[in-house]
Amino acid sequence: MKPTTILKAGTALAVLTMPGLASAEDQAITFISCGDRVSAVHEALFPKWEEANPGYKIEVEAVGWDQCQEKATTLAAAGTPVGLAYMGSRVLKQLAQNDLIVPIPMSADEQATYFPFVVSTVTTDGQQWGVPVAFSTKSLYWNKDLFAAAGLDPEKPPATWEEEIAAAKAIKEKTGTAGFGVVAKTFDNTMHQFLHWVYTNNGTVIDADGNITFNSPENLEALTALRDITAYAEEGPTAYEQNEVRAIFLDGKLGMIHASVGAKNLLKDAPFNWGVAPLPLGPHAQGPGTLLITDSLAVFKGTGVEDKAIDFAKFLASTENQPVYEAAEGLTPLRPGPAVDKLVADDPNWKPFIDGISFGGPEPLFLDYKGLQDTMITMVQSVVTGAAEPAAALEQAAAALEEFK
């Protein structure tokens, strides 16, 4: 064979095997993943799915949390949607009712694999609009050293609101350190933290028929308890969001906080003794509760690859792949199973985060989620600053919510 023939054949082979050229006919499924990076677990799954679905290619873009949802939503509103995006489940109703995303049918068997109420975080009008992919629940962390210094039993965390407020009071009065971390900054997690109180007292915000149920005795008790514990909280709680309150706790300057499993990991090297327990319960609680926050993969309308995008989303969050992702990212498991049993057996501190799911509640699904959020934040801030009484603030907020549902 002549050298020129070998050269031509080699060039042809190289050109044909170039990834870009070989996949020139592939249909792209664009995927916005929230965060500074794409999860290594997910990245490893892309080629597997592409192999099983020839002719389709995943094009992923990592977008920081601050802009992620806005970017995906704005692109869709502008008529140039991405295939799928990682979204807070709270916005699904807004996207669905504006005809920007497609429903994601979930069989009864599929739904049954999840913990109770998880599917409800992505359900509106009887349909599912996202594939849950990340889950967060909250528990009570307490500083055992501060409990001991205040004359409290350091091994006995408060189990009720009454005990929680009494413990916060004792810590504040006997040690001079704030007893509880109240979150009340103009930030989304101010609403989340208030919902911990709502869901540990059998409260609700909106019912399945879309009626606002916020102005209830259960929620009034919740708001009153939050007001009462603020007297023993850090100074100026409207200056602090959740992570800032957690930082104060990590610094040993707070007796108790409500936080996610992430705090457990940060507390590993804490210079004080600490424990984690289920969120204390209100007088109307029926069992351990917590706010259930999920993030989902939402599939946008108008890309022409919706079915494949749904398939890809379900593949990422399948019973095989999801536990690997959760373990890598330190997330609360979405589904019960042997992996969860092992998790709790290996680290009993996981238990309260799982137990709270039984009577937990979702982030309420509203048509105008930001409107809901701002209303809740205004209500909480007015109460913790003493500008309004809980009953009046609750009534005003409930009335305002009608506009956003």
Q: Which stretch binds other proteins (CB under 8 A): 111-119, 198-206, 234-242, 316-324?
A: 234-242
Q: Considering the complex, what minimum distance in angstroms separates the CB of residue 382 from other proteins?
A: 6
398 makes contact with other proteins (CB under 8 A): no
Instruction: Yes or no: say if 142 and 275 are a contact pair by the CB < 8 Å rule.
Output: yes
How far from each other are the two terminal CA atoms of the chain, in whole angstroms? 76
Instruction: Yes or no: say if 276 and 352 are a contact pair by the CB < 8 Å rule.
Output: yes
- Count interface residues toward other proteins (CB under 8 A): 36
368 makes contact with other proteins (CB under 8 A): yes
Nearer to other proteins, 99 or 153 (CB): 99
Nearest CA among 295, 266, 301 for reference residue 363: 295
Nearer to other proteins, 221 or 234 (CB): 234
Nearer to other proteins, 306 or 326 (CB): 306
Q: Which residue has the tokens 């509760």?
A: 289
Q: Which residue in the set 8, 48, 342, 370 belongs to the binding site for other proteins (CB under 8 A)? A: 370
238 makes contact with other proteins (CB under 8 A): yes
- What is the four-CA torsion angle of 49, 52, 54, 56, rounded to 10 degrees? -20
Nearest CA among 96, 84, 88 for reference residue 60: 84
186 makes contact with other proteins (CB under 8 A): yes
378 makes contact with other proteins (CB under 8 A): yes
Nearer to other proteins, 106 or 250 (CB): 250
Nearer to other proteins, 186 or 319 (CB): 186
Q: Which residue in the set 34, 72, 100, 134 belongs to the binding site for other proteins (CB under 8 A)? A: 100
**Helices marked H in 78-160 — which ranges?**
92-97, 108-112, 144-149
Instruction: Yes or no: say if 182 and 234 are a contact pair by the CB < 8 Å rule.
Output: yes
Task: Name the burial class of residue 84, with classes exposed (0-12), middle (13-18) and buried (19+) by CB atoms within 10 angstroms of its CB.
Answer: buried
Q: Considering the complex, what minimum distance in angstroms separates the CB of residue 402 from other proteins?
A: 15
What is the Cα–Cα distance from 341 to 72, expressed in whole angstroms?
A: 36
Q: Which stretch binds other proteins (CB under 8 A): 91-99, 202-210, 290-298, 324-332?
A: 91-99
Nearer to other proteins, 31 or 369 (CB): 369
236 makes contact with other proteins (CB under 8 A): yes
As beta bridge partners, residue 34 has: 63
Q: Which residue in the set 115, 161, 180, 187 belongs to the binding site for other proteins (CB under 8 A)? A: 187
Instruction: Yes or no: say if 9 and 62 are a contact pair by the CB < 8 Å rule.
Output: no
Task: Name the burial class of residue 174, with classes exposed (0-12), middle (13-18) and buried (19+) by CB atoms within 10 angstroms of its CB.
Answer: middle
> CA angle 285-130-96, nearest 5°?
100
Nearer to other proteins, 73 or 321 (CB): 73
DSSP-based three-state secondary structure for 405: coil
235 makes contact with other proteins (CB under 8 A): yes
Nearer to other proteins, 31 or 240 (CB): 240
Q: Is the dihedral of CA 78, 83, 86, 91 positive or negative?
A: positive
124 makes contact with other proteins (CB under 8 A): no
Q: Which stretch binds other proteins (CB under 8 A): 24-32, 128-136, 211-219, 372-380?
A: 372-380
Q: Helices 242-250 and 188-199: crossing angle, nearest 10°?
A: 80
Nearer to other proteins, 204 or 385 (CB): 385
6 makes contact with other proteins (CB under 8 A): no
395 makes contact with other proteins (CB under 8 A): no
Instruction: Yes or no: say if 87 and 69 are a contact pair by the CB < 8 Å rule.
Output: yes
Q: Which residue in the set 7, 8, 70, 399 belongs to the binding site for other proteins (CB under 8 A)? A: 70
363 makes contact with other proteins (CB under 8 A): no
Nearer to other proteins, 71 or 284 (CB): 71
Q: Considering the complex, what minimum distance in angstroms separates the CB of residue 311 from other proteins?
A: 26
CA 170 to centroid of chain Cα atoms: 32
Dihedral pair phi/psi, residue 261, rounded to 5°: -65, -20
Binding-site ranges for other proteins (CB under 8 A) = 70, 73, 76-77, 94-95, 97-100, 184-187, 234-240, 244, 247-248, 251, 253, 368, 370-371, 374, 377-378, 381-382, 385, 387
